[in-house]
Chains A and B, each alone.
Chain A
Amino acid sequence: MEQTRRDFLKTTAAGAGAAGLIGLPSTTRAQGSKLTVWWNKGYYPEEDAAMQKIVKEFEAKHKAEVELSFTAQEDLLKKITAALIARRVPDVAFCFYNDWQVVPKYAWDDRLADVSDVIEELRPRYDDKMLVVAHVMNNKMKKRAYYGVPIEAQTMHIHYWRDLLKEAGLEDAPDKIPMKWDDYWNYWKKAQDALRKKDAAKYGKLFGIGMTESTRASDTLYNFDMALLSFNGEILDKDGKIIADQPRNRDAIVKTLKWFGELFTSGYVPPDATNWTDGDNNAGFHSHTLVMTPNPSQSIPAAQFFNKDDPQKNNYFNNMATIEWPDGPDGKKARYLTAVKTIIVPKDSRNQKLAKDFIKFVVEKDRFAEYIKAANGRWFPAFKDVASDPFWRTGHKGPKGEKDNHVPVATTIFLERDNRVFEHYKHPALSQVYDENVWGKAMARIVVDKWPADKAADEGIERIKAIFAQHK
């Protein structure tokens, strides 16, 4: 039968409509028994391989399909944020930023699944200090519960080049570095002076201290909070109320900011430190233009461990070392802050049971030990049984039997020092304080805008109060 123009148009329109409907982009919304897992891309291929192995084992055991994708941390945070806002979510998400940028605020908004049942099951295995990070407030339900499963942690360390100290004519062994506050920081200044004096052409642009003081870097807030602890300052009380404006704490904040300002303007910190991202102090250290740098993970030694240009791992075992944060100005041993990395299950996930089964499967002792050791000590396990593995006390062994100067230091900090988690679990507004990098801004006020430390401190405190006031 001959087709009229009208018939043709009808057919075309109907066909186009059907094609449009069928061809609608598939969403990431978790459906059926297929588990969608978004995982932070590891720093090393071994980490990703270990997770892929876990997924295969889980699929075989649970007869379920797992769609695993790896994304770099900065992009994954945006992906998770967008997914939670749009309510088109994965079933499981693990991002290195979950602990402070996702868990407090999205639990508050009732976008995360309560995983207290998982935590209760795992509780005997947990290091209690780390568990609290996921016990956060749900403002809709008006209750506190566990909205994340902590798995691994990072804390503050100082890395330095032993070969540079040797060349400067200074003691380079970790136990010879002075640990008193002023002596400690002056030691690196002395190294810079000595090296520049020795060879101005070679070391003219070397700096003693790689202290990140930028609003672009999360290292900044870690550096600030560590120094604030050294000066005995607190921002919140145990109930999450602001006490930063109390005279004792304000005084500590002013002293801390003044210390950062003077450190920067003294000429021993690279001028670009106010513009650094989290990777810039690492880059400066690896290129031997910094004698030391504080870094809140073991990423620097771990990168040297995998340095292909150094097959004997001479840098890792002989040329560099990791030491602790110095004793406070009052002479007391350093207190540490720990960031505990956390897995979440979005509330809109349709496979919550399977998601929780998956998490429990991942953190089983041997399986998780294999996964976390693939990161070469970059993270420390949140589980006591995994942390009891001798690896954490001895670390790697060098090709000539050298001792590991990095992993055991982190273990000492985690297990033997006064150590507590960041306090954003107390109130989601603190998470925003960190997001805004309020103290990084205050540092810039001092070093860029030339404000006095007390004025910068007061602006920071007022900003914190304003942020808390927005969370009703």
Chain B
Amino acid sequence: MTKRPQLMVGVGIALVLLQQQVLLQRPPRLLKISSQHVQSGTAALDLQFSRPMDRSAIAAKTSITPSAPHQWFGEGNPLRVVMDAPSGLEAPIKLELEGVDRRQTLLQRQRWWWDPRPWLVVTRRLPKGEQVQLQTREGDWIPLSPIWPALQSLVPLGNGKGIAMVSSDANGKETIWWRGLQTHNISRSLEGLKTPSPMSLKQLRSDSLLFGHLSTNLNGDLLVQSGGLRPGSDRVELLQAKGSRQRLAIQSAGPIQLLPAGGGLITPTYNGLTLRPLIDKGAPLQMLPGSRELGAFCGASGKAVLVRHWPDYRRSIELVIPGAAPKQLHLGEQAVLALACDGKGQRIWAVLGRWQQQRGDHELVLINTDGMVMQRRSLNPWTVQAGTPMQWDAVGNQLLLTLSQAEMSDGRAALLDADNLQTIDSGADPIGEAQWLQAG
């Protein structure tokens, strides 16, 4: 070997050793920090690092203000912090991230602000039609849609990064829309926490439709079920949060619902509900026979609450736990007008209605998993606006309902404490329907 190749080999080895030492000495870095909605607590954050971290050191050295119970999960990288504050979170959280990696190299201390509180979005009737609006933390309203003659449906995406809507024109023809939202709920400074910024509006189906049904999951995927005037124009499409779009060959007798944790969906059939995976691996479908409808999912726990209609016109509320027969929590003659469930499937809220003296009498009850009524209150003189949902906010531990009174043409967004069912805020502004938009 001559001198030149020897020199080249030597330089190469030296460069490799130098690179190895530089990488060894380089401190670990936080690559990505994002909200995680598939979780069992109040709120959760995912942290992606440049290398596996010492979870116990991160948990011990990182401070969270205001102080709230929380736990760190994960096997080094990524890590997840799950907040579990039973009374809810009322303000942004300051996260002072500190710790070491598995080689005990120090992670540079850094401060983050995180506001996991959801946003209130409503449909509102205006002189020229209807519009979707979002309430800022200061209480102002910003438009998220143009004004359309009528709004048939509003679905905030489960990851908080957009909304999907179904509008209709004067002839009853429907159009499906999607609007992305730029979120600012995680920032290096408190001032950086801002209201989501609307991005461009997209039409998801261009032809005129007779119906459009939307469903979302916590990953932000959107299922669009639509049908037009022409025979055979029915279509089921899945728009994944990462951008891909695919048609699903699924027959359904009604609105299909995506499972919150992703990967599956529930289709109503003529003799019950069918649970199926999005990717068919040939496994037998899980079928729940009987006249049942889906009431609410219990977060990502895999549990759900159903309403069962009996031949003698009674209704029961059932809790479905994976792998177990449905558990009846309530049976009665009242109509079940709205249902909600917490993320662990331990608290179930129901609005029960009875027609008395020419008007509806609506009652809100809190039921535990044994079917015991833990709290109840009459909503009089208010009633739940027909067709509007009841939603539980894990961050604030509160319920959101759209309520109205006999003489009102519009509803009000009402916030109720999820434990004692007392009203927190009955909302002053007239609205059509109120829903939560997750902090993205």
**A and B assemble together:** no
Q: Which of A's residues lie within 8 Å of B, judged by CB?
A: none
